[in-house]
Amino acid sequence: MTRLIDELRSRATALFHSFWTPTPATMRRWAIAAVVVNAGITVTGAVVRVSKSGLGCPTWPRCTPESFTPVAHPEVSPINMLIEFGNRTLTFLVLAVGVACLLAALRLAPRRRSLVRLAWLQPIGVAAQGLWGGVVVRSVLNPVTVSVHFLISIGLIAACYALYARSTEGDGPPQRLVHRDVRTLGFVLVAAVVVLLVAGVVVTGTGPHSGDVAATRFPFDMEVVARIHADIVWVVVGITFSLLFALHLTDTPGRARRAALLLFAVELAQGVIGYVQYFTAVPAALVGLHVFGAALVWIATLRVVFMLRSRGPLPEPAPEPLRAIAA
């Protein structure tokens, strides 16, 4: 028992020092943790929707009109209430990781303003996301508000990944590692993936998984929006293949080529899931998997683009203060 307590104390101390006396390595770890938790809560949000738990907590900020925590409510299933409350609770984990990133960026020596600015986006974004969650509930899961809820998460993932990428490099002016046209193609790919994600939320807002029987849907033809979404998928896959081909034809770093190849593989896997969804009437289990795939496509896209340029090596760490030596 004593050994276990000592181990827990040691881990807690290491966790505290990882953001209170950070190093470039711990800064990167917190940034990666932020990417993971923001992607994770995006997936759990999909689970809330497909389980019809969107109004499991029918009020906001309270779970019920009488309580901030789940209590018996005659109009809500206890399971739905627990699922929705669990997703709300995860927001505090995302916020805690965001605050840890900010503290690490503020206390990193030497302090880097670029990291501090990016780190501030996390607690601010999580707070905005939480407030927007209240709008989602009060609008009875209007598909517009639900769509914006997802897109805010996509923006937060981008901010988190940018923090990670910038924490691995210096603060010099960006230097292209590929031909100018290849880097432009990377920016086109990012724009295409953003359009794909927006089209995806339109399909979701039109489809059968609304989150609750009381929720409204977009007044579009499901067949039409699904086909438009599929067409955009092929455009994204085509741009990715073009980028991959260009990277292999030119003198580019091997890690950039491998990142593009990984993105291409993730897109193909995501496409398979999408087509299986379409031909099997959109089963609930595949919706959560598809949202997870969408997050992976977005992260992999950002990874490729950040690898097409460099800002030089990390700055030298600040020297430790001289310690007095007893005479």
Joined tokens for residue 231: 């067409």
pLDDT digits (tens, 9 = 90+) for 233-252: 999 999 999 999 999 998 88
Indicate left, alpha or beta for 282 from its phi (over 0: left) and psi (-120 to 50: alpha).
left
245 Cβ neighbours under 8 A, 6+ residues apart: none
Domain boundaries along the sequence of the chain: 18-168, 173-314
Between CA 38 and CA 32 the distance in angstroms is: 10
pLDDT of residue 75: 78
Based on the number of CB atoms within 10 Å of its own CB, is 254 exposed (0-12), middle (13-18) or buried (19 or more)? exposed
Q: Is residue 46 scored above 90 in pLDDT?
A: yes
Reported as a single tens digit per residue, the pLDDT across 125-174 is 999 999 999 999 999 999 999 999 999 999 999 999 999 999 999 999 99
pLDDT at 316 over 90: no
**Angular region, 158: left φ>0, alpha ψ -120 to 50, beta rest:** alpha
**% of the chain with per-residue pLDDT over 70:** 97
Closest CA to 45 of 185, 153, 181: 153
Residue with tokens 């779970």: 63
Q: How far is CA 278 from CA 19, 102, 196, 197, 268, in A?
A: 45, 42, 16, 17, 15
Q: What is the mean pLDDT of the chain?
A: 92
Contact 41, 90 (CB under 8 A): yes
Q: What is the pTM of this model?
A: 0.93
